[in-house]
Structures are given as structure tokens and as C-alpha cells.
Amino acid sequence: MARTEKPLKVEIPGATADRPPWSRVGIIGLAGFVLGIAWPRVAGVKIGPSVPADAHVARVDPSGEASAAPGPSGAPAAGSASAAAPTGEPSAPDPGAANKELVVVGPGKIVKCWDKKDKKVEDCGTLQFDPIALPKLKDLAKCASAVGLEGKLAVGFEIDFQKKEVHVTRGKKTSLPGSTVNGVVQCAARDFANVALEDVPHKYRHYTLAYTASFYPPGKHPAQAEDKAEGGEGTAGATTSESPAGASSATVTWDTALIRKDPKDGEVVARLVRGTRVKVLARQNDWYRVESSGKVGWVYRGSLGL
């Protein structure tokens, strides 16, 4: 049987027949936006590094405190306390300190001492009273009678360990007006009225001490307001400074430490090697009077690691 073939039909598309179906394109584009852009924002996922505008920069204001520079919106950036890198420089001094009265006090000196039989002793040794006296004498800057004072005042102490009493006296040497000295001494007497003497190691019953307090009014403070040893009455070297770390002994930390007859330029009387234990008897500025194997003299504080 003969096969019937269908006639070949050729269709030529028109000008609008090859346009894409825009509805399908819109669906695909919306799905891509949701998956690639909208979804991370909704979920809180951060993709990629922050833009430079998000960083905050620390600045230092005139008061010396670090603060964060405001961000693009004008508000301070969060976490500004950790933004400033450490510079290693000390914090700025309190600007209000220069507007207050300042009192600089040096270590005291033992003038006299008596034993339990009220007999005067020639060698009084040392007494750890500076840790009590120095802070209280510095606080005389708060005394109403000390406001605006400029000059030096010698302050004396009569310490009776048997009666557990401390009496403050006015020294002979002073460059302050006499009308205000009595008021300052009265302030000191109130501050020392209830001093606990039980915690002060002592050998004798009664001591007389002398201190020198230098008063500086606002605007006339010294360049470096450090406590300096002021000259006082009494036996040389009989200072009342506290022993190192509250102890009566120390250890040589240098390979060789020199014991001198007098501080700084005195004759060398002995040499101590590293690790030698010494008994601390007194202190004079940067020098300690020590005893080791029967030798007594002065050594530099650095050789004892102090």
C-alpha cells in the first residue's frame, strides 16, 4: 500500500514571537533578591567587612580623658572606652591640685629619749613614727588656719608610750606669721589626739621628735611636689622613717654593697656580697644605717633593692 506523506510546512515567526515571557523573568528575579539580599538582612547575617565609616576614632579632650569621635550620624560610637590604644603615658594631673594649699613634710628626727626610769638615753636608735606622722601633717593643708600660708614650721612631738599620749608642740624655727601658727598647731593636736601607739615598735618610754613642714599657697607650688628630707634638730641619722616593708632587716641585692662610715662619701668600713642579711637601724634620705657581723654603717638603698 502506498504511504501518504504530509506536505512540509514552514512557519516563519513574526517580530514579536521571540520576546521572553516577562512573568517568568519577574519570578526568577524576585527569588534571587530574596535569597541573595533580603534574607541576610532579615536574619541579621553580616556578609563582608564593615565599611570605613563604621570605625570610630579616639580623641583626647582638654581634660585629658579619652573619648570617641562621633560617627557619621553625629552620635558617639559605642564602645569608645576601648577604642583608644594605650600610649604608655601617665594620666594628666588633677588641674584642681594647683588651686589648693600644699604641705610638704620631710622625715622626722629623734631629739631626745628616756627609759622607763625617766633616765635620758644617749643612743635612741630608731622609731617607726613617720608612717603615722607624715600623712597627718600633710593634711594640715585642710586646716582653716593654713589657708594661704607660705613658709616653714617646725612641729615637735612628745610621745609617752607608758601613758599612751602624743602631745604636739610648736618648734622654735618658723617663717610663718605668729598669729596663724597657734591655729595650725591646734589642728595638728586634734589630728594626733587618738593615735594608736600600740602598733608602733619602740624601745624606750618617752621620745621627743621634730618635723619640718613647708607650706605652699595656691599658685606657688614647687615644680616637683615630692617629699624631701628637711633638716631638723636632733642626732644625725636618728631618723624615724619606717624600715623597709615594715621589717627590721633587708637583703643585699647587688654583687657587692659598700658599708660606709657616713652616707654617700664616707669611708668604706665593710663590703657585703649578694644575699647577705643586714639589720636596718635607721634611714637618712636614700641611705640606710645597717648592722652586719658587728659592722655598722650606711649603705645605699638600691643595694638593698629598696
Q: Which long-range contacts (CB under 8 A, 24 or more apart) does 163-170 make?
A: 164/197, 164/198, 166/192, 166/193, 166/195, 166/197, 168/192
Q: Write the single-letter amino acid at 89.
A: E
Q: Among residues 230, 234, 100, which one has the least CA distance to residue 152?
A: 230
**Do the Cβ atoms of 117 and 240 come closer than 8 Å?**
no
> In sequence order, what are the residues at sequence separation of 6 or more whose Cβ sits closer than 8 angstroms to the Cβ of residue 291?
278, 279, 281
All structural domains of the chain with their residue ranges: 98-216, 244-304
> In sequence order, what are the residues at sequence separation of 6 or more whose Cβ sits closer than 8 angstroms to the Cβ of residue 40?
46, 47
Q: What would the CATH number be for the domain defined by 244-304?
A: 2.30.30.40
Q: Grid coordinates representing 78?
A: 559605642
pLDDT in tens for each of the 306 residues of the chain?
556 666 666 666 665 555 656 666 667 777 766 666 655 566 665 555 554 444 444 444 444 444 444 444 444 444 333 333 333 344 444 555 667 889 998 888 899 999 988 999 888 888 888 888 888 999 999 999 888 888 888 899 999 999 999 999 988 778 888 778 889 999 999 999 888 888 788 889 999 999 989 899 888 887 654 434 344 444 433 455 444 444 468 888 888 899 998 888 889 999 999 889 898 888 887 888 888 888 889 899 888 877
Q: Which long-range contacts (CB under 8 A, 24 or more apart) does 70-74 make?
A: none
Between CA 141 and CA 98 the distance in angstroms is: 12
